[in-house]
Chains A and B, each alone.
Chain A
Amino acid sequence: MLELLFLFMIVFAGTGGELCVSRAMKVVGEVHDFRPPALVGFVFRAMRVGWMWIGIGMMTVAFFSLLAMLSMENVSFVVPVTALSYAAGAFGAMLFLHERMSPQRWLGVFIVCVGVTLVWLSRR
């Protein structure tokens, strides 16, 4: 039961956090210069976007939930089942980021979810 609660927090706080970070990155814009000073500037620009901080907060919750779950289960089980976030992420990307989801992408996400279900069923 506790594992399910932690899994829920990993999936929803993690996906919500990633969507917020993705939105912040779209505000910052595409990176063309990969030299270290330019990358430092890029990080500072990202830190000035509010969505970035909301995303970091949610991902922190997901991170501590992950640590808790890793103390109970094997990493080869925990990490694959968190792929459940693909379904949440696909809906979030479409609704929150207005990305276009082609039928091929939906098919891929569906197959990923089937794979996650099999991993879950392999639990001892």
Chain B
Amino acid sequence: MKDSPGLQLKTYILILFMVLFAPLGNVLLSKGMKRVGSAKNWASGELFHVLVSVITSGYIWLGIACLLAFFVAYMLVLTWADYSYVQPASSFSYAVVAMLGYFLLGETVPPLRWIGIFVTCVGVFIVGQTHPRTTERA
């Protein structure tokens, strides 16, 4: 199926939104969860305490807001583009999340992880060369 330049452009713009908002949301969630801490056991009292800490964390809500922005862009692009195109194309966010983790959270990112992320992006690029839509419109 032939794709119009307009279709390609709006696909790229929405994928850009996805690639920015999803990593930012995950980094904010990570910051929030590091403050909350993990449950040491699965007793209901401790789980309740963790749940309360999660829902009262500002970082968690900011992260959820970013992920909602990502989700709206994702829903819109899926109305015309294939899932099997959008999902890999949005995985550039893995490189972005590693950079944000390194710069904003001070995480150690070993060289092997950077290589893995680079290889992932190569896979994404290859998928990105295929047509966004392989099925007929509903």
Q: A residues bordering B, Cβ < 8 Å?
A: 18-19, 21-22, 25-31, 34, 39, 42-43, 46, 66-68, 70-72, 74-80, 83, 85-86, 89-90, 93-94, 97-102, 104-105, 107-122, 124
Contacts and interface: CB of A to CB of B under 8 A. Distances in A.
Chain B's interface size range is 35 or more
Contacts of B85: 105
A18 B122 CA distance: 23
B46 interface: no
B5 to A, nearest CB: 16
B115 interface: yes
Closest 10 CB pairs of A and B: A118-B116, A115-B120, A111-B123, A108-B127, A115-B119, A112-B123, A76-B101, A108-B126, A119-B116, A75-B30
B38 interface: yes
A76 B118 CA distance: 13
Nearest to A80: B94
Contact of B127 (A42, A100, A105, A118): A105
Contacts of A101: 84
A118 B113 contact: yes
Contact of B124 (A46, A108, A118): A108
Nearest to A85: B87
B129 interface: yes
Nearest to B34: A71
17 contacts: A26-B138, A27-B138, A29-B137, A31-B76, A39-B76, A71-B33, A75-B29, A76-B98, A83-B91, A93-B83, A99-B82, A108-B124, A112-B119, A114-B123, A115-B94, A115-B120, A118-B115
Contacts of A68: 38-39
Contact of B130 (A70, A104, A119, A121): A104
B29 A115 contact: no
Contacts of B100: 75
B88 A109 contact: yes
B137 A74 contact: no
Nearest to A110: B123
A86 to B, nearest CB: 6
Contact of A30 (B80, B84, B107): B80
A115 to B, nearest CB: 3
Contact of A105 (B75, B84, B119, B135): B84
Contacts of A46: 75
Given A70-B30, A117-B116, 12 more contacts: A25-B75, A39-B76, A75-B29, A75-B101, A76-B102, A99-B84, A105-B126, A115-B122, A118-B115, A119-B116, A121-B116, A122-B113
